[in-house]
Structure 1
Amino acid sequence: MDHGSMSDLRIVLLGKNITENNRVGNFILGRAAFESEAPADVELNIERHRGKLKDRDVTVINTPHLLRPNLSITQITQGVKECVNLSAPGPHVIILVLQENDFSDNNRHRVKYVLNEFSKEALKHTIVLTDEREIHNNAIHQLIQECGDEHLQFDERKSGLHSEILERVEKILKENQVQFLISDLYEEAGEETPEDGEKRRSGGSVTAEEEGDFDHEDDGKIKQRNKEKMEVAVQRKALCKFCWQES
Structure 2
Amino acid sequence: VSEVRAHNEDHPCRGETAHTKQHILPNFRLVLVGKTGAGKSSSGNTILGRDAFGAAVSQSCCKQNGEVFGREVTIVDTPGLFDTSLPDHIVKREISKCINMSAPGPHAILLVIKMGPFTQEERDAVEKVEEIFGDGAWRYTMVLFTLDSETGLDIQSELDEAGPELKEVLQKAQNRYHVFNNSQADDRGQVLDLLEKVERMVADNGGEFYSNYTYLQVEEMLKQRESKLREFYEKEMQKKIKAQKEQPGMKRRCQAEVQEVKRFFKALKTDVRHVVEQTVETDTMDDIQKFHMTLKLKFTP
Partner of 1:11: 30
Instruction: Please state whether the residue corresponding to 2:204 is helix, strand or coil.
Output: helix
Could you tell me the TM-score, scaled by structure 1's length?
A: 0.66
Structure 1 unaligned runs (5+)? 202-247
Question: In the alignment, what sits opposite 2:179?
Answer: 153
Partner of 1:142: 168
Note closer, same or farther for the CA distance 1:48–1:102 as it changes in structure 2 (3 Å cut). Answer: farther
Displacement of 1:122 in angstroms is 0.9
Q: Does 1:194 align with 2:283?
A: yes
- After TM superposition, give the deviation of residue 117 of structure 1 in Å: 2.3
Residue by residue, what CA displacement relative to the aligned partner does 1:118-166 show, whole Å, maximum 9, x if unpaired? 2432111111111362324423232112100011111254561121011
- Secondary structure in 2 aligned to 1:61? strand
Deviation per residue, 1:51-101 (Å, 9 max, x gap): 122110000000123123356876655433322211221111011111244
2:246 match: none
Q: Distance in 2 between matches of 1:179 and 1:188?
A: 18
Q: Secondary structure at the match of 1:36?
A: coil
Partner of 2:245: none
Contact residue 61 and residue 79 of structure 2 kept, 8 A = yes
Which has more radius of gyration? 2
Q: What is the one-letter code of the residue matched to 1:168?
A: K
1:169 offset after TM fit, Å? 0.3
Q: Pick from 178, 182, 192: which aligns with 2:211?
A: 182
Q: 1:109 to 1:58 in 2, by over 3 A?
A: same
In the alignment, which residue of structure 2 is the partner of 1:93? 108
User: Equivalent residue of 1:194, what SS?
Assistant: coil
1:82 corresponding residue in structure 2: 97
Partner of 1:20: 39
Distance verdict in 2 for CA 1:150–1:46, change over 3 Å? same
Q: Structure 2 matches for 1:95-134, cutoff 5 A?
A: 95-101=110-116, 103-104=118-119, 107-108=122-123, 110-130=125-145, 131=147, 133=155, 134=158
Aligned twin of 1:172: 201
The verdict on how the C-alpha distance between 1:77 and 1:120 changes in structure 2, with shifts beyond 3 A counting, is: farther
Please tell me whether the aligned partners of residues 103 and 218 of structure 2 are also in contact (alpha carbons under 8 angstroms): no
Give yes or no for contact 1:28–1:53 (8 Å, CA) kept in 2. Answer: yes
Kindly tell me: are residues 159 and 95 of structure 1, through their superposed partners in 2, closer, same or farther at Cα, counting changes over 3 Å? same
1:26-65 to 2 correspondences below 5 Å: 26-39=45-58, 42=59, 45-65=60-80
Instruction: Specify the SS of the correspondent of 2:72.
Output: strand
SS of residue matched to 2:74: strand
Other structure's SS at 1:160 match: helix
CA contact (8 A) 1:51 1:59 kept: yes
Q: Percent identity?
A: 28
CA contact (8 A) 1:53 1:166 kept: no
Distance (Å, rounded) in 2 between the aligned partners of 1:101 and 1:111: 16
Question: Matched residues in 1 for 2:129 and 2:64: separation?
Answer: 22
Does the 8 Å CA contact 2:34/2:125 hold for their aligned counterparts? Answer: no
Aligned partners of 1:117 and 1:180: how far apart in 2? 16
1:238 counterpart residue number: none
User: What letter is aligned with 2:283?
Assistant: P
Most deviating of 121-130 and 177-186: 177-186
Distance 1:125 1:19, change over 3 A: closer
Considering fraction of residues, name the structure with more helix.
2
What residue is the counterpart of 2:269 in the other structure? Answer: none
